[in-house]
């Protein structure tokens, strides 16, 4: 490799560029097109700078100057055909990575709305959980909390309002509409109500394989095991003792 004018650098020492020096003849043979045992240009293309220049002129012309990220393309082919083509190469996946939420029945239906839950119980391949909640006008997702994960929300349609309660007397109330994102910390009580005249549909997501929630009512173990005076202090309804159920 030539590093200075008039000198050839080989194995860490400078060799004079003499016409009779062996290194001089070796550098001539590399990249030459003569006969004998010398390699041809397809094996030793010569100067890296020339190779780079040739690649830029030919190969880089088809590469986009910027990453398109999202771009328009043609419609895909038949799904069954593409699945068969992939199965011939990699085989059929032992587990399904698709879940038809639109075809499942709601887990809970009330006069105020419904909810569909997708987690590791009905979709074993997923390590996360989600719930699709639909509230009718005036409907309320009652006060509850999630003991195992934070809650990330995406509002699909309609208008709603959420109240979140933290430690002590700290609380916050926020309005949401389609396209908004909400967030609730783990174990923080919160409620969501429909404030519009159409259905409120939103998505709840949890970084957990189970979609677990706890409610603040008399049937919850925390409330059933709480002293009666706590119920008098925290509840507006007349005091009563919650029976302990086995």
In whole angstroms, give the CA distance from residue 167 to residue 30. Answer: 77
In whole angstroms, give the CA distance from residue 2 to residue 23. Answer: 11
In whole angstroms, give the CA distance from residue 245 to residue 163. Answer: 31
**For residue 17, what are the CA distances in angstroms to 8, 22, 24, 48, 77?**
6, 10, 6, 21, 64
Cα Rg of the chain (Å, integer): 35
- Say whether 204 is catalytic: yes
- Write out the DSSP string of 215-233: E-STTSHHHHTS-HHHHHH
For the record, the structure tokens of 214 come out as: 């706890």
- Give the dihedral of Cα atoms 8, 11, 14, 18; nearest 10 deg: -50
| 34: phi then psi, degrees, rounded to nearest 5 | -75, 175
User: Do the Cβ atoms of 177 and 153 come closer than 8 Å?
Assistant: no
In whole angstroms, give the CA distance from residue 176 to residue 194. Answer: 10
Q: Show which residues are catalytic.
A: 204
């Amino acid at each position: 490799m030539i590093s200075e004018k008039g000198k050839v650098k080989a194995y860490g020492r400078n060799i004079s560029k003499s016409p009779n020096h062996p290194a001089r003849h070796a550098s001539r043979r590399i990249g030459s097109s003569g006969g004998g045992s010398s390699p041809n240009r397809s094996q030793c293309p010569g100067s890296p700078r020339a190779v780079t220049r040739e690649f830029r002129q030919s190969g880089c012309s088809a590469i986009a100057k910027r990453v398109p990220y999202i771009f328009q393309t043609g419609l895909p082919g038949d799904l069954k055909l593409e699945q068969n083509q992939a199965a011939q190469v990699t085989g059929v996946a032992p587990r399904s990575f698709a879940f038809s939420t639109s075809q499942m029945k709601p887990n809970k239906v009330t006069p105020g709305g419904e909810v569909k839950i997708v987690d590791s119980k009905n979709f074993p391949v997923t390590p996360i959980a989600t719930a699709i909640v639909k509230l009718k006008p005036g409907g309320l997702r009652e006060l509850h909390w999630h003991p195992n994960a934070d809650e990330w929300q995406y509002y699909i349609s309609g208008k709603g309002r959420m109240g979140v309660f933290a430690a002590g007397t700290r609380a916050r109330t926020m309005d949401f509409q389609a396209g908004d994102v909400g967030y609730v910390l783990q174990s923080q009580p919160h409620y969501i109500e429909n404030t519009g005249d159409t259905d409120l549909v939103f998505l709840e997501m949890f970084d957990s394989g189970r979609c677990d929630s706890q409610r603040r009512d008399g049937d919850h173990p925390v409330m059933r095991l709480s002293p009666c005076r706590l119920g008098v202090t925290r509840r507006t309804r007349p005091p009563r003792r919650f029976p302990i159920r086995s």
